[in-house]
Amino acid sequence: MRVGAVGINCGYYSKSRNIKQYRNNLINKTDTVSFRGLFSSGPDLSTRFAYGLEALDGQSVLVVTSNEESSNMMLELYADKIDIPVMKKYTLLVKPGELKNRDDLSANFAIFKKDKDYNILSLADNPIIGIQVANPKDEFNEKNRIFSGEKKVLIDGVAIDTGELFYSEKPKFVFNTPKNYYADSAKRYLTLNTVNEFKDFNKRTISALNSSKKVEPKTGFRFSDIGGLDSVIETLKKYVVRPINYPQVFENIRLNKGILLWGPPRCGKTLLGKALANETGAKYSEYNANEFKSSTLGSSEASIREMFKKAVANAPSITFIDEIDSIAKKRDGSSNSRFDDPMVNQLLGCMSDLEKTKTPAFIIAATNRKDLLDPALVASGRFGLHLEVPIPDEKGLKQIFNIHIKDKPVMQNVSVDELTRMMSLHKFNGSDVAEAITNAYFNALERLSMFEKMDNRTFTYADLQKIAISKEDFHLAMQKIVRQKI
């Protein structure tokens, strides 16, 4: 594969009017890629740069940096601006002194190739560099003209033939760029087109590439599978997801490791715990607090200590404890609480210890009875962040309905608004919605005599095409749930 001619323009933008004009002419033309603002870099630098560009194949990104660690982090932050699927990441490191005597030449940027175009992404708040697509016939300097397909690098106005370097099988990577240099003018040259479907993929791939982890497809619940809990999800993103995904940003921040999800049964608390793990790639463990209750002296406390130990060892981790109220009731010295108190004390101790560390081990406790919990446990520094997971309102029910109805055949006359209004009237929770849909599907199968056909082995592909849930199927299914609720 060959890239066309590559021009690296060095020197001050304002040094000469001609240069300025020349550079302006380069914008949005074809075949030559040129960098602006690079001070007299030697052939080594340009060669490495050429290697780097050549390595770009529509599935890779080249990070140009003087500080690999911070640019990797920035690349993760800006991953959603890269609208190609990133499978590989190359880093082009600038050696000290390669950019002549300028301390401020330290900004980071990334390049990727989309179709035939090179896209440059500034990995800094101020875009500082632009890639320009130049017209090879541009008359800047007759002797340095670079024609389409030529293998030349233009340094300080002098074209250097890169010869075979463009054909290296194993490119080594290249270099750096100035800071705050052409901040304003450079913005014009950023050619970014964000495409949503790449966002998630790239975030995960880049994060994995940065930490040399293997990329595995994510399965299981995600936030997009949870309806009616947008503000809870937003808070969890803020306090858990981003701190796990971008630890560098939160390094000196005291994070809330203990989170209490409270609210009526079957409204999505467990779902949130699982989704948190899948959104972050954190290791997930789930417990029911009743598991810790033991008649053997001291063994309940030992199990709690063990759970915390595991959470820390597995960090980043999400540990979900359901029905926390069963072991964390208010301590009141009564005979009933005598057996429970040591567990509460142990939980308090473990939580306080964990809060003192920087380990990204998050403990999510869930309860339907927040009122029963020991006040010390729900104080800040323990389970200090309390999030209500309420019974969904009509809008929430609609979201949940749409999530669960996805990929199921429904007749056209079914009105989601009408159904969710009825659900709201009967105080349906998330689980009721899911069940209503499952039951409605079974009602449809029954109505269409599909069970009979299955039993007689006469069921065909054409029958499969006929299955569609009707309004009546839904109504019957919902009535059944309403009856069960009474």
Question: Which residues of the chain form contacts with ligand ATP (CB under 6 A)?
Answer: 226-229, 265-271, 322, 366, 368, 389, 400, 403, 430-431, 434
Q: Which residue is nearest to ligand ATP (CB)?
A: 430
* Smallest gap from residue 43 Cβ to ligand ATP (A): 60
> Which of left, alpha, beta for 223 (phi over 0: left; psi -120 to 50: alpha)?
alpha
* Smallest gap from residue 228 Cβ to ligand ATP (A): 5
Structure-token pair, residue 212 = 């040399």
* Smallest gap from residue 166 Cβ to ligand ATP (A): 53
Instruction: Between 203 and 269, name the residue whose CB sits nearer to ligand ATP.
Output: 269
* Smallest gap from residue 403 Cβ to ligand ATP (A): 5
Instruction: Between 403 and 448, name the residue whose CB sits nearer to ligand ATP.
Output: 403
Q: How far apart are CA 361 and CA 387, in angstroms?
A: 18
Phi and psi angles of residue 403, each rounded to the nearest 5 degrees, phi first: -65, -45
Q: Which residues pair with residue 120 across a beta bridge? A: 111
* Smallest gap from residue 394 Cβ to ligand ATP (A): 13
C-alpha 53: how far from chain center: 27
Helix (H) or strand (E) holding 153: strand 152-155
3-state secondary structure of 141: coil
* Smallest gap from residue 389 Cβ to ligand ATP (A): 6
Instruction: Between 23 and 266, name the residue whose CB sits nearer to ligand ATP.
Output: 266
3-state secondary structure of 33: strand
The answer to whether the CB of 129 falls within 8 A of the CB of 9 is no
* Smallest gap from residue 374 Cβ to ligand ATP (A): 19
Least Cα distance to 22 among 188, 144, 164, 173 occurs for: 144
The answer to whether the CB of 116 falls within 8 A of the CB of 199 is no
Instruction: Between 136 and 392, name the residue whose CB sits nearer to ligand ATP.
Output: 392
Instruction: Between 7 and 227, name the residue whose CB sits nearer to ligand ATP.
Output: 227
Q: How far apart are CA 99 and CA 45, in angstroms?
A: 9
- CB neighbours of 326 closer than 8 A, spacing ≥ 6? 289, 290, 293
Burial class (CB in 10 A: 0-12, 13-18, 19+), 387: buried
Instruction: Between 47 and 439, name the residue whose CB sits nearer to ligand ATP.
Output: 439
Instruction: Between 79 and 275, name the residue whose CB sits nearer to ligand ATP.
Output: 275
Burial class (CB in 10 A: 0-12, 13-18, 19+), 246: middle
Q: Taking each helix axis as running N to C, give the angle between helix 341-356 and helix 299-313, from 0 to 180 degrees, rounded to the nearest 10.
A: 20
Instruction: Between 143 and 406, name the residue whose CB sits nearer to ligand ATP.
Output: 406
* Smallest gap from residue 368 Cβ to ligand ATP (A): 5
